[in-house]
C-alpha cells in the first residue's frame, strides 16, 4: 500500500518550511490517526511564467466534456431518476426490480464519472505544474547563460585593454630603440668626421 501526500508550493515564501499532513484510516475498527511532517527545502519559485499556462476549472471541464460527451454531467439535458409527489406528506412507493437497478446504476455511474473527471483534472494539473517547473528551469538556465556571457564580455574587454597597452608599450620600445640607433649613427658620423678633419 502506498500513500502519496502532495503539498502544492506556489511561491518562494512557502519553501524552507515543514508542513503537517494528517492521515485518517477508518473502518470496522477504531479510527487510526497519524501525523506526517513534510519538509520543503528552500527553492526559488518564479511565478512569472504561471500566467501563460493558466487554465480555469471551467475550461478544464469544457475540454474534458469535448473528449467525453457521454459522461452524465457533460450532457445538455438532465437525466431524471425520480419525479414524484412534491408535498411533504408521507406516501408509499413501489419500485420494480428494473427501476431499482436503474437508480443504483445511475448512482454508481455518477460516482464513476466523478472519479474519472477528478483523475482527468489531477492529470491536467500535474501536467501544468510540470510545464511550469520546466519553464522555471529554462528561465533559470537562460539567466545563468546571460550572466556567463556578460562575464565573458567583461573579461574580453579587459583582455582587449591589456593587448592595446602591450602594443603601445612595444611601439614606444621600438621607437626608443630606433631613436637610440639613429643617435648612435649620428655620433659615429660625427666622430668619423672629427677623425678625418683632424
- pLDDT of 18 > 50? The answer is yes
pLDDT tens profile 114-156: 788 888 888 888 888 887 787 878 888 888 888 888 888 777 7
- What predicted TM-score, i.e. pTM, was given to this entire model? 0.32
Extract the C-alpha cell encoding 183. 643617435
Torsion angle of the four alpha carbons 91, 97, 99, 101, in this order, in degrees rounded to the nearest 10:
130
CA distance 172 to 165: 11
- pLDDT of 183 > 80? The answer is yes
Give the pLDDT of residue 112: 80
The sign of the torsion formed by the CA atoms of 6, 12, 18, 20 equals negative
Contact 42, 15 (CB under 8 A): yes
Distances (CA, A) of 89 to 74, 84, 85, 92, 110: 34, 12, 8, 10, 29
pLDDT tens profile 67-80: 877 776 677 665 55
The residues pairing with 17 across neighbouring beta strands, listed in sequence order, are 40
Contact 72, 113 (CB under 8 A): yes
Query: 152 or 58, which is more confident?
Result: 152
Total Cβ atoms within 10 A of residue 132: 19
CA distance 130 to 49: 12
- Please report, for the chain, the start and end positions of each structural domain, with discontinuous segments joined by +: 1-45
Question: How confident is the prediction for the chain on average, in pLDDT?
Answer: 76
Amino acid at each position: 500500500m502506498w500513500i502519496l501526500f502532495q503539498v502544492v508550493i506556489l511561491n518562494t515564501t512557502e519553501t524552507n518550511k515543514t508542513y503537517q499532513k494528517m492521515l485518517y484510516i477508518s473502518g470496522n475498527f477504531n479510527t487510526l490517526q497519524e501525523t506526517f511532517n513534510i519538509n520543503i527545502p528552500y527553492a526559488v519559485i518564479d511565478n512569472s511564467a504561471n500566467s501563460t499556462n493558466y487554465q480555469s476549472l471551467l475550461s478544464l471541464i469544457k475540454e474534458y466534456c469535448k473528449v467525453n460527451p457521454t459522461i452524465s454531467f457533460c450532457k445538455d439535458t438532465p437525466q431524471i431518476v425520480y419525479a414524484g409527489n412534491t408535498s411533504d406528506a408521507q406516501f408509499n412507493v413501489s419500485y420494480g426490480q428494473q427501476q431499482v437497478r436503474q437508480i443504483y446504476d445511475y448512482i454508481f455511474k455518477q460516482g464513476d464519472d466523478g472519479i474519472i473527471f477528478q483523475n482527468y483534472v489531477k492529470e491536467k494539473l500535474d501536467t501544468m505544474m510540470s510545464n511550469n517547473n520546466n519553464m522555471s528551469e529554462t528561465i533559470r538556465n537562460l539567466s545563468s547563460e546571460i550572466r556567463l556571457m556578460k562575464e565573458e564580455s567583461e573579461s574580453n574587454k579587459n583582455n582587449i585593454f591589456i593587448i592595446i597597452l602591450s602594443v603601445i608599450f612595444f611601439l614606444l620600445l621600438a621607437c626608443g630603440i630606433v631613436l637610440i640607433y639613429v643617435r648612435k649613427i649620428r655620433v659615429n658620423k660625427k666622430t668619423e668626421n672629427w677623425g678625418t678633419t683632424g
